[in-house]
Amino acid sequence: MSQARFELPDLPPASAACSPTGLPLSISIFADRAHVRGEMGDDAAAAGFRIAASGDLAVLLAGEPQGLGDIVLLDCPALDGATLAALVRLDMRVAHAGARLVVSTSLDALEDVFACLDQSRPQILVDPTRAERVIALGRALAHAPGTSVREVSDEGRVVLLRLAEQVEQLAERLDRLSGSASASAGSAFRFESPGAGFAARSADEGDRLVRQIRPALPDPRLVRRIIRQRQLRGRFFDAELFADPAWDMLLDLTAARAEHQRVSVTSLCIASGVPPTTALRWIGQMTEAGLFQRVEDEADRRRAFIALTDRAADAMARYFVEAGAGAAVMA
């Protein structure tokens, strides 16, 4: 994809995206790679942000600068001990301020980055394209800090939402031009939490469900066979035809739970069958829906795992009971 600067189409004036003080929403950018830092700055300026701070990771190592801003963009493809400590401090500060954090990293560093960032609910991107960074910026803009969104007028809130939508539309067009399908992944998050369906049922039916004995998880050998069958299709067809990351991750975590095994975030990204950045979006969405949970490693605080919640495990067990002997074919 061309690295030339681009302009957002038909955007409202930059001053329209303002905080309650009347100043444009601010952003901080930290990256050792000069070209990445430059792209981030161009894209943020095009979206109407005020650049609060910009520099390399040494700025963070020396102590976070004053006024991080409403959104923080960070690029750290490689980590050392000092950078990890700086990430932990940054994560806590961003969470305390109610800001938004977007971190791009590499697959090799993903485990460490994921373990460090457990307070601010960041967006984590793995080897992202420029379009994926712009999409993340759009999502961060749509969920700007509470003090900047709740206190603006209804008209101002509409402007922010329109601006976020235009940023995402631009990113999707850029990815279509580059032949990438990853930018459209965010639009797939339209499922409903299983809890909503149960809440709509009558109290009597809910009581009957509680009284029922919970079925055991399926034999993990069966689940692993289903996973292999699903992966086999990729040998004969384009794997994107069958991309279903939510189900593939549910299957992998179900087998792991039955085997009493822990699953790292990198392993789960691989099991999803989609690019890591897309998988991380799904993991975040499934966590918010109450299906996945983050589990800290008690022996090593630098590691964290992903597991099914009890509700999700119960739902998967009931699915396999209902599917019966045909589960291997149906899945």
Residue 6 lies in a domain: no
Domain end, chosen from 166, 186, 206, is at 186
Q: Residue 261 — φ and ψ, nearest 5°?
A: -110, 150
In this structure, the answer to whether residues 181 and 200 fall within a common structural domain is no
Residue 230 lies in a domain: yes
pLDDT (tens, 9 = 90+) of the chain, 331 residues, equals 444 444 444 444 434 345 444 456 889 999 999 999 999 999 888 878 888 888 988 888 887 666 678 899 999 999 888 889 999 999 999 999 889 999 999 999 999 999 999 999 999 999 998 888 888 888 887 776 543 444 445 555 555 555 555 555 565 565 555 554 443 444 433 444 444 444 444 445 555 544 456 788 999 999 999 999 988 888 888 877 888 899 999 999 999 999 999 999 999 999 999 899 989 999 998 998 899 999 998 888 778 999 999 999 999 999 999 887 556 555 5
Count of structural domains, the chain: 2
In this structure, the answer to whether residues 65 and 167 fall within a common structural domain is yes
Q: Hunting for tokens 């949970």 — which residue is that? A: 293
pLDDT for res 60: 80
pLDDT for res 40: 92
Domain end, chosen from 186, 214, 243, is at 186
Residue 5 lies in a domain: no
CATH number at residue 126: 3.40.50.2300
pTM across the whole model? 0.71
Collapsed DSSP state (helix, strand, coil) of residue 218: coil
Length of the chain: 331
Collapsed DSSP state (helix, strand, coil) of residue 5: coil
pLDDT for res 136: 87
In this structure, the answer to whether residues 118 and 205 fall within a common structural domain is no
In this structure, the answer to whether residues 148 and 296 fall within a common structural domain is no
Residue 9 lies in a domain: no
Residue 3 lies in a domain: no
Residues 6+ away with beta carbon under 8 Å from 139: 123, 164, 168, 186
In this structure, the answer to whether residues 302 and 153 fall within a common structural domain is no
In this structure, the answer to whether residues 324 and 271 fall within a common structural domain is yes
In this structure, the answer to whether residues 222 and 177 fall within a common structural domain is no
In this structure, the answer to whether residues 131 and 172 fall within a common structural domain is yes
Taken in order 49, 51, 55, 59, the sign of the CA dihedral is: negative
Residue 166 lies in a domain: yes
Domain end, chosen from 136, 159, 186, is at 186
Domain span at residue 123?
Answer: 14-186
* Token pair recorded at residue 250: 């549910």
In this structure, the answer to whether residues 89 and 211 fall within a common structural domain is no
Burial of residue 121 (CB within 10 Å: 0-12, 13-18, 19+) is: middle
Residue 128 lies in a domain: yes
In this structure, the answer to whether residues 176 and 137 fall within a common structural domain is yes
pLDDT for res 200: 45
Residue 4 lies in a domain: no
In this structure, the answer to whether residues 161 and 284 fall within a common structural domain is no
Collapsed DSSP state (helix, strand, coil) of residue 182: helix
In this structure, the answer to whether residues 55 and 145 fall within a common structural domain is yes
CATH number at residue 323: 1.10.10.10
